[in-house]
Amino acid sequence: MTLRSILKPLLPLLAGMSMVLAVPGHAQIAVITSGDLCAPVNVGKALRTIQNFRGLTLNNSSEETIAVSCPLSQAYSASFLEVGVIIQNGQNVAQSSRCVLREKNPINQDVATYILEAEIPATEGEFFLFDPVPLADPFNRVNLTCTLPPNSGLGLLLTNSVFPE
């Protein structure tokens, strides 16, 4: 997988992102984070295959799917949170990826779980955009876990904190 093949599909995805960033009539804070802050869920399994590389969390394995966990920034007291993530597929065949967004309360109990599964076309990227998450408590936080299929990379995390009018 070359860097060029990973970055190539970014442009069409920006259209979807710009839709997220415009919620009329609401104050909002959008934050974009580089995907290389994600870490493998199973560190031992991913020791040789997961690489944090130039803004990407890459799965260099040609066979194994590896789950990575990403912290997300959110503004305090937001009433809704929108989350998007771009995953690029460096393989010459389409591959499936699943992202799970968990809303957790301060003592780490699951409050809500949002699941999104999509097939990423060969050598292209997919913008995983979750349904808006109504935060039940200002101290609740969200965590994102995504499966990275072989030769794929997670490059961009987007959070949009939406406040009431």
- The nearer residue to another protein, 27 or 117, going by C-beta atoms, is 117
**Shortest distance, position 147 Cβ to another protein, whole Å:** 10
Tell me which residue of 15, 57, 64 sits closest to 37, measured CA to CA: 57
Residue 77 near residue 138 (C-beta atoms within 8 A) = yes
What is the three-class DSSP state of 25?
Answer: coil
Shortest distance, CB of residue 103 to another protein, whole angstroms? 9
**Which residues, including other chains, have CB under 8 Å from residue 134's CB and lie 6 or more apart?**
79, 80
Q: Taking the complex as a whole, how short is the minimal distance between the CB of residue 2 and another protein, in angstroms?
A: 29
Q: Residue 1 or residue 72: which is nearer to another protein going by CB? A: 72
Give 18 or 76: the residue with its C-beta nearer to another protein: 76
Length reported for the chain: 165
Least distance from C-beta 74 to another protein, angstroms?
Answer: 17
Residue 28 CA to its chain's centroid (Å): 19
Identify which of 148, 131, 162 has the alpha carbon closest to the alpha carbon of residue 31: 162
Consecutive H or E run containing 7: helix 3-7
List residues binding another protein (CB under 8 A): 98, 100, 105-118, 131, 134, 136
β partners of residue 158:
32, 84
Q: How far is the CB of 39 from another protein (least distance, A)?
A: 16
Structure tokens at 59: 């799965």
User: Closer to another protein at the Cβ: 11 or 76?
Assistant: 76
Q: Which is nearer to another protein, 3 or 112 (CB)?
A: 112
